[in-house]
Chains A and B, each alone.
Chain A
Amino acid sequence: MTGPSAPFSEIASAVPSWGGPSWLSDARKSAVARFVSAGLPTTRIEAWRTTPLPDLGKMAYAPGSASTANQAGALVKPFMASDVVTLVFVDGFHSETLSSSVATWPKGVRLAPMSRQLVVSPEDLQPWFADMGATDGALHDLNTAAFRDGAWVVVDDGVQVQMEVRVVLVSTSTDQPVAQHVRSLVQLGRGASLRMMVAVIGAREARGFTNSHTTITMAERSRLDLVRVHESPPGVPHFDALSATLGAHSVLGDTVLQTGPSWTRSEIDIVLNGERATADLGGVFIARGTQVSDIHTLLSHQAPGVISRQNYRGLAADEARGVFHGQIKVESEARGTDATQNNKNMLLSKRASVHSTPALEILTDDVKCKHGSATGQIDQAQLFYLRSRGIDSVDAIRILTRAFASEIVSRLSDESTRRLIEAQIAPSLEQLGVAA
C-alpha cells in the first residue's frame, strides 16, 4: 500500500486475522476503508491546522504484540496503592501481572480488559459500536480498526465505588516501534459514582505511537471524577480522545495533566444531553523543548439547564508550542444553560508560543456564556517581589510556574490523588524556565 496511510498498512492486512464477532470485523473493515481513503490528518484539515502530526511515516509500525512486563513494572509503581484498583496495559496489551488481582476489585463494578471481554461476552460491547460514524476523523477510525485492548468499566445502578480505578498505559522500549491503539469503555449506571485515573506513560527510550480512545456513558444522576495524566516519552507521540455522553443531573469532572515531553493532542468531546447535566473540566499542559501540546474541547449543550465549566492552562518554554481550542455549542433546546470557558497561558521564552481559540456557536437566547483567554509572560512584578525577598530568578520562576499549574492541580479534592499528581508533574515543572 502507498499513500499517507502507509505507516499503518500492516493493520489493514492484520484485521481479518484477529477474529472476533462479525459486527466488530465489519466495523473494523469500514474504519480501515475510511482511514485508507482519508489518510492521516494534515494541516489542510481545519481542526489540525495548528497541530501537524509528527512525521509518523519514517518508522515502520508494528500493530503491537504482548511484551514482557519487567520494564513496565517500575514505571507503573507510583500508580499502585493498596486502596486503588489498577488495570495496566503494556504496549497496548493488558498485563495481568501488573494489574491488581481480581480478588481486590470492588463490588458492583464490572471491570475487564477489552481483550478478554471481546472473547467472553462481545455482545456487551456491541451497542458501543452501533453508531460509529465517519465524522470523528482518521485517527478515530484507525483506533476502531486496530484496537486490541483497553479497559472496560461498568458501574451498576446506585453503586458508589469507594476505590479509585486506575488505568495505566505504558510504552516500553522495544526493537520495533509499537503503535498502540487502545479503546476503553466506561459506563456509569443511574446514581452510580466512580473515581478514575488514566495515565499514559512510558520508558524514556520507547518509540512508537499511542492512540487512546475512551468513551464514557453516564446515566442520570451518576458522577464520574476523572484524572488523566498524559506523560508520554519523546519518541511516542500520543493522540488521545475522550468522548462522554452525560445523562440528566449527571456530573463529570475531568482534569487532564499533559506534561509530555512527547507530541500530545487531547480531544475532549462532551455531549450534555440530559437535563441539568454538569461537565466540570480543567487541565494544564506543561510544554518544553520542541514539545507540542494540544487540547481541543467540544462541549455540546443539548438539554435544558446543562452546565459546562472549562478551566485550562498552559505553560510553554523553550521552543514549545501549545494549542488550546475550546468549542462550545449550545443547541436551541438547551435553554437556561450556563457555559464558562477560561484559558490562561504563560510563555517562558520568546520562541515559545500558544494558540488559543475559543469557538462559540449559540442557537438560543436563553444562555449564560462566558469565556476568557489570556496569554502572557511571567509577571515581572511577581518575579521581582520574590527576588527582593532573597529568592533567585531561577527559583522564583519555578515557584511561579508551579503556582500557575497548581491552580489546576488544586481541583483534585482527594488528597492522595493530588499528591500523586503533584509528584508526577514535578519533574516537568522543574525543567521549565531555566533559560528564561
Chain B
Amino acid sequence: MLRITDLHANAGDKPILKGLSLNVNGGEVHAIMGPNGSGKSTLAHVLAGRPGYTVTGGEVLYKSSPLFDLAPEVRAREGVFLAYQYPVELPGVSNLYFLRSALNAIRRHRGEDDMDAIDFLAVAKEKAKLVEMDEALVKRNVNEGFSGGEKKRNEIFQMAVLDPSLAILDETDSGLDIDALRDVAAGVNKLRSEDRAMIIVTHYQRLLEYIVPDFVHVLIDGKIALSGGKELALELESKGYEWLEKEPAQAR
C-alpha cells in the first residue's frame, strides 16, 4: 500500500525527516510514536501534500506509484486521508455540502456518477451512526463552534464517509478527555478493515490501548529508531524516549 524509502523532508527551511523508511500493507495499523519535534506530524503532512513542506530526498510509493507526483486533492481521490490534529473550521460551509463535494470529487475520479443530496444524506446518517456522531453536528457548518472532541469525531466521521485506503491519524488523541478518546477510538476501530491501512501518529501510548496497532515505530530525529509490535508502546510508556535518543539509532 505504502512504501517509504529514505525520505528526507524540510518544514520550511528546516530539515525534519532525515532518512525515514517504512512499509505499510493493506489491513495493517502502524503507530508512529516519538518525542516532540521528531518529525511525526511532518510525516503526516508530507504524505498529505501540505504546502510549506519540501521533500528533499527519498521516495514514497503509494499503490506502487510515486505519491509526490500527485496534487493533494488527487492523493485524496486516490484514497489518502489525513485526520487532522487541528481540524479547520469552515464558517458558512455545511458539513453535508462539504462532504458531498468531497465524495463526488472522489467518485468522479473513479468514473462514477455524482451522488445527489438525498442519497448522500442517507449515507451520512448511516456513517454518523457508525462512528456515533450526533446528527445535529452532521448538519452544522464544518467544525464551526465544535468542541475539541467534536472536531476529532468529525474527522473520523469524514473518514467513514470518504472510505480511504490509507488513513493517517495525526495526534487524534490530543486534547481529548478519556471518554472522548474512547469514543473516537471506537469509531476508528469500526473502520479497520482488510483493505484499509492506517498510520496512527501519537505522542502517548494512551490511544494505543484503544486502537491496538499491529506495529509500533519510534521516530527519533527524523528517522525510525526502533520498530516492534504493540508491546513496544508499553515499554516506551515506562521507559520514555530518552534512552533511544542517547543511543545511536538501531536498525529495525
- Identify the A interface with B (CB < 8 A): 380-382, 384-393, 395-396, 399-400, 402-404, 406-407, 410
Contacts and interface: CB of A to CB of B under 8 A. Distances in A.
A391 B102 contact: yes
Contacts of A410: 92
Interface in B97-114: 97-99, 101-103, 105-106, 109
Nearest to A407: B92
A380 B158 CA distance: 20
B88 A389 contact: no
A407 B50 CA distance: 28
A406 B105 CA distance: 23
B90 A403 contact: yes
B interface residue count range (under 10 / 10 to 19 / 20 to 34 / 35 or more):
20 to 34
Given A384-B50, A395-B101, A399-B101, A390 B88 contact: no
Contacts of B84: 385
Contacts, number: 73
A390 B50 CA distance: 13
A390 B73 contact: yes
A388 to B, nearest CB: 5
Contact of B92 (A385, A396, A406): A406
B162 interface: yes
A402 B76 CA distance: 23
A391 B75 CA distance: 11
Interface in B68-120: 71-73, 75-77, 82, 84, 87-88, 90-93, 97-99, 101-103, 105-106, 109
A410 B88 CA distance: 21
B82 A388 contact: yes
Interface in B113-141: 141
23 contacts: A380-B51, A384-B51, A384-B72, A385-B84, A387-B49, A387-B76, A388-B48, A388-B72, A389-B98, A389-B99, A389-B102, A389-B158, A390-B76, A390-B102, A390-B109, A391-B102, A392-B71, A392-B73, A399-B90, A399-B97, A400-B93, A402-B92, A407-B92
Q: Is the interface of A mostly helix, strand, loop or mixed?
A: helix
Interface of B: 48-51, 71-73, 75-77, 82, 84, 87-88, 90-93, 97-99, 101-103, 105-106, 109, 141, 158, 162
Contact of A387 (B73, B90, B98, B141): B73
A403 B91 CA distance: 7
A381 B82 CA distance: 14
Given A385-B87, A390-B102, 7 more contacts: A390-B73, A390-B109, A390-B162, A395-B101, A396-B73, A404-B92, A406-B92
Nearest to B94: A403
Nearest to B141: A403
A230 B109 CA distance: 39
A395 B92 CA distance: 15
A400 B73 contact: no
Task: Name the 5 nearest CB pairs between A and B, nearest first.
Answer: A403-B92, A390-B76, A389-B102, A385-B88, A390-B105
A396 B48 CA distance: 16
Contact of A382 (B76, B90, B99, B106): B90
B154 to A, nearest CB: 12
